[in-house]
Structure 1
Amino acid sequence: MRPWVLPRNVPRVGLVASSRSLAEKYLAESLPRRWRHVQGVGAQAVRIADAYAPDDDLLVAAALLHDIGYAPELTVTGFHPLDGARVLRSVGADERLCALVAHHSGARIEAAIRGLSDELAEFVDERTPVRDALWYCDMTTGPDGQRLMFEERIAEIERRYEPGSVTRRFLADGYDELEAAVQRTTRRLVAAGLVAADQPM
């Protein structure tokens, strides 16, 4: 892997551009559909970022990097949140960014199913509005980057995986936690005037 360092404490444009560059490097050619999803998640984060200042740059960076662990050349455990977080740590990313990637979208629950809870515990799940917002962006963006309601996103994931698979088990066990994060974020966005009160999640 080419040496690469994610800049710390830089203006938003620098952090976001660097994060996009790294995600594109590892996903655009090897996993083009995943790259489309990542771009959509990033766009969602940009759309809502004003509600998360001064952590808006962190949210957008995490959105762009959340699935980097899917890259074939970065896969170690086969559990993409953990692999992605470890790669980011290895190139000098801020620990909080690494942890957001590690724990995105209910990763704790899937880690337990996979027997990787101890490994994931290397990273702290901050359980903050920024963490919820990252989950919201992921869980309202489809595989081709299209915006979806939460229920539509769950349904499309279920269609892609066989009953009894790890992903289907994770969705069954984690649905309430995912929905709660989306609901908390939606309420914050309504209060900030970024989402209409009657808009579906």
Structure 2
Amino acid sequence: MSTAGLSAFTAWSPLRPVARAPRTADRSRDALASGSAPAGAARSGGELHTVALEDELVEQARELAARLLATVDDDGRRWRHTQAVAERAAEGAAAVAPEQVNLLLAAAWLHDVGYAPALVQTGFHPVDGALHLQRSLWPPALVGLVAHHSGARLVAGVRQLGHLLDPFSRPGYWSGPVADALTWADQTTAPDGRRVTVHERIAEVLERHGPTSAQVRCHAQRGPLLIGAVRATEDRLLLARAARTSAG
């Protein structure tokens, strides 16, 4: 990203990229004091089972996504997709533990911010989005979910970008209830926001990117992973629905 592009971005962003790297113990406190990190960042760790984000952070995620994706020259398609994914994630909230719902919702809002021109570094949006969120001190679990959403690690490997995901290497970032629910929301939502099946979504991605793309080259591994995440989430939703019915 050029210096000019970064300056233009920080002029209107509610989050400021960190200019220096203070000691770990001081980093979140200093960021909160200066206004460079979202609310709740200092209290949120990297283990998914311990992360409980505040409602305010979900709203900040929505606002940041709206600002960034407004700069994408696609007639608003990416923003419509993001809104629909966030709505879908809310519908799938029962698939995750109650304390993880806000983490899922925030990740749904932020999963595609790497498409914003000012954030592009590698040209691979999960990595570019995660790197920006990491610099801006968003909670590590949220950053990791964005980095790994929808089987991104497999595409990154083909594109020889896998090393950039090393800082986000906890298994819960690419598998488990929250990661699966994020994939479910993304992979049952078309680029224009329409509801689709996971098979329709996969077919659209393969056609759009073309036969020599990284998506096609890793499809033998990524396709089953996406389908498995969708099925696992739907199974969890069925179990949650059955539990509510029996309790009622």
Which position in structure 1 is the counterpart of 2:202?
154
Please report how far the alpha carbon of residue 156 of structure 1 lies from its aligned counterpart in structure 2 after TM superposition.
Answer: 1.8
SS of 2:99's equivalent in the other structure is coil
- Residue number among 69, 88, 96 corresponding to 1:44 in the alignment: 88
Please state if 1:130 is matched with 2:175. no
How far apart, in 2, do the equivalents of 1:189 and 1:38 lie? 21
- Residue number among 72, 75, 99 corresponding to 2:117 in the alignment: 72
* Mean Cα deviation higher: 165-174 or 89-98: 165-174
Q: 1:145 to 1:181 in 2, by over 3 A?
A: same
SS of 1:5's equivalent in the other structure is coil
How far apart, in 2, do the equivalents of 1:98 and 1:189 lie? 25
Which position in structure 2 is the counterpart of 1:199?
none
Please report how far the alpha carbon of residue 12 of structure 1 lies from its aligned counterpart in structure 2 after TM superposition.
Answer: 4.3
Please report how far the alpha carbon of residue 180 of structure 1 lies from its aligned counterpart in structure 2 after TM superposition.
Answer: 1.0
SS of 1:145's equivalent in the other structure is coil
Which position in structure 2 is the counterpart of 1:56?
101
SS of 2:195's equivalent in the other structure is coil
Which position in structure 1 is the counterpart of 2:158?
113
How far apart, in 2, do the equivalents of 1:24 and 1:171 lie? 31
Q: 1:18 to 1:77 in 2, by over 3 A?
A: same
- Residue number among 140, 143, 146 corresponding to 1:95 in the alignment: 140
- Residue number among 183, 190, 196 corresponding to 2:238 in the alignment: 190
Which position in structure 1 is the counterpart of 2:31?
none
RMSD: 1.7
Which position in structure 1 is the counterpart of 2:187?
139
Q: 1:134 to 1:11 in 2, by over 3 A?
A: closer
Write out per-residue CA displacement over residues 84-138 of structure 1, whole angstroms, 9 at most, x where no aligned residue: 1110011110000000000111011011101111111110241221011111111
How far apart, in 1, do the equivalents of 2:150 and 2:215 lie? 12
Q: 1:11 to 1:59 in 2, by over 3 A?
A: closer
Aligned-residue sequence identity (percent) comes to 43
Please report how far the alpha carbon of residue 11 of structure 1 lies from its aligned counterpart in structure 2 after TM superposition.
Answer: 6.2
User: Where does structure 1 differ by over 6 angstroms across 4 or more consecutive aligned residues?
Assistant: none
How far apart, in 2, do the equivalents of 1:84 and 1:161 lie? 20
Write out per-residue CA displacement over residues 14-48 of structure 1, whole angstroms, 9 at most, x where no aligned residue: 12210000001110242421111111110101111
Q: Which runs of 5+ in 1 are unaligned?
A: 195-201
How far apart, in 1, do the equivalents of 2:222 and 2:95 lie? 26
Structure number, greater radius of gyration: 2
Which position in structure 2 is the counterpart of 1:197?
none
Q: Which runs of 5+ in 2 are unaligned?
A: 1-8, 11-15, 17-35, 44-51, 243-248
Write out per-residue CA displacement over residues 49-70 of structure 1, whole angstroms, 9 at most, x where no aligned residue: 1332110000000011001111
Whichever residue aligns with residue 81 of structure 2, its letter is H
Whichever residue aligns with residue 83 of structure 2, its letter is Q
Please report how far the alpha carbon of residue 170 of structure 1 lies from its aligned counterpart in structure 2 after TM superposition.
Answer: 3.2
Which position in structure 1 is the counterpart of 2:64?
22
